A and B are shown apart, each in its own frame.
Chain A
């Protein structure tokens, strides 16, 4: 559902001026909320990735039945879970895992979406038709259910397979977006001129078309990253995402499916929920600022 909202919104992004990066940076500097979000995000990521270097992942995953469901204290900053494991440590590892995995999913969907979108948009005709029919079909599937079923029936399941499965279902929105942009772009004079001069198609696509859709890609990448963090943690929450041995933020929140934990043991699920909210919102705010920067009509400055 989230995917769809993003694509619908992004369709409005038009007219990108060539000096994109500079304008983007100016727009972020001008927007206090986006700037604050960027700083928060950077701080969280540096802390989480830095701290996980010094932490012993095995130590965190070790079950200790003498310290089950402890409340937050100076020993355990955020208490312990049903296995006596430190919630704070799990929060750090979970944030790292959630972010890394979402980043990879976004990256892979971007590569597939970009390739197919550019091909469909640039060549049009039969190529476009075939690719679009596939996209129409995949986009209409109830994705969450399909992901759950595929996760259940794959013979080997680990983090890499999970990333692959997610990629399989999530590339379509991006491809459609880039295709529509490429479709309008190829009618412009600079492409026609290059074609007349005999520049090979791959050169036109890589060196002329790609730079002109780049800001659209960046904006979409960032908004998708936020969406994927939500989707990954939703799936893990339901029990069909990352295995418990590599905890994600969704793992911590999934303990709240037990009503007792939800009602009485807030320290297990509230910090992880807040972390997801902060991550997703700050990534989104940065993305929205970039989107304004990419659209001259909405620019603030």
Chain B
């Protein structure tokens, strides 16, 4: 087990290295450089700018520049934001927590919906319950998230006006009060629920298939013939085995949520990383873009790592490879 984790970590190092090189190359390909981020006298002459560039080492060979950039990035220094005129990390920090919070709530919604539905559909397969759930999951599979989110926003945000249509908190309430917390949760429900209702699909299908596959296995028949009550057959024997792969996909699920945040946060104008990313791309604020891409890339690598580790802990056959 430890050997597997260690080997998996060793694989991640070149991946991380490659990721950082690609992101650095992208950053170099973007218009503007570190100077664009600082308040410079607009009258400074080109010769002066060239001198500063030379001093900052922007004319050095790329691997030297990469080395400096990577060393700074490891310490959380991604330079200065062009539009916000503050260090990139300060701009990102608040947004990061908003996104993490949204992803967390979405994850809870997803599993709260998917697990009961998957169990029902697997346990009573080929009944009307199963057909309804399967129908729903087919619909969810075929529906792009941005359309579903728009429809939800239209119905609950505008037509019925039950929930706020954008932002992460009401501007009128003070921080720290009870109303603030309520407002924050209110703003989360719509984006989190829209994502969750679509994201349940794969978990439901997996759980259902696992349960149906496990139902006819020998250990279940043994349990039944021993006289174990039906409810215990499910809770103790079948479900315990069926949950394993679901738990293992947790990492991939998180990875997907981070990637999907771009769309959902844009639609609900939720001030998270995804929205910051898009607005920074539109404003050509590339130091922020680079930092976000690097951070989410790192996060997805971590998510995949997490899933692989859980999978190997659960299923020893994977470790042998």
**A256→B296 contact, CB < 8 A:** no
Contacting residues, chain A, for B255 (C-beta < 8 A): 140, 142
- State which residues 274-290 of A face B: CB under 8 Å: 276-277, 280-281, 283-285, 288
**B259→A143 contact, CB < 8 A:** yes
Interface size class of B (residues with CB under 8 A): 35 or more
Contact of A141 among B205, B209, B278, B300 (CB under 8 A): B300
Is A263's CB within 8 Å of the partner chain B?
yes
> Chain A's nearest CB lies how many Å from the CB of B155?
11
Q: Which residues of A contact B (CB under 8 A)?
A: 1-2, 4-5, 8-9, 12, 133, 136-137, 140-146, 148-150, 152-153, 226, 230-231, 233-234, 237-240, 253, 256-257, 259, 262-263, 266, 269, 273, 276-277, 280-281, 283-285, 288
- The binding surface of chain B is classed by DSSP as helix
Q: Which residue on chain B has the smallest CB distance to residue A151?
A: B281
**B26→A253 contact, CB < 8 A:** no
Is B141's CB within 8 Å of the partner chain A?
yes
Q: Which residue on chain A has the smallest CB distance to residue B282?
A: A239
Q: How far is the CA of A234 from the CA of B145 in the complex (A)?
A: 8
Is B87's CB within 8 Å of the partner chain A?
no
Is B142's CB within 8 Å of the partner chain A?
yes
Q: How far is the CA of A140 from the CA of B26 in the complex (A)?
A: 18
Q: How far is the CA of A133 from the CA of B14 in the complex (A)?
A: 10
**B297→A142 contact, CB < 8 A:** yes
Is B287's CB within 8 Å of the partner chain A?
no
**A237→B146 contact, CB < 8 A:** yes
The 9 A-B pairs at the shortest CB distance, nearest first, are namely: A230-B144, A1-B256, A284-B142, A281-B142, A263-B158, A5-B202, A142-B296, A142-B259, A280-B142
- New A-B pairs, 19, CB < 8 Å, besides A140-B15, A283-B142: A1-B256, A1-B259, A1-B260, A4-B256, A136-B11, A142-B255, A148-B262, A149-B289, A150-B26, A153-B26, A234-B145, A239-B282, A263-B154, A269-B150, A273-B147, A277-B142, A284-B142, A285-B138, A288-B138
Q: Which residue on chain B has the smallest CB distance to residue A250?
A: B146
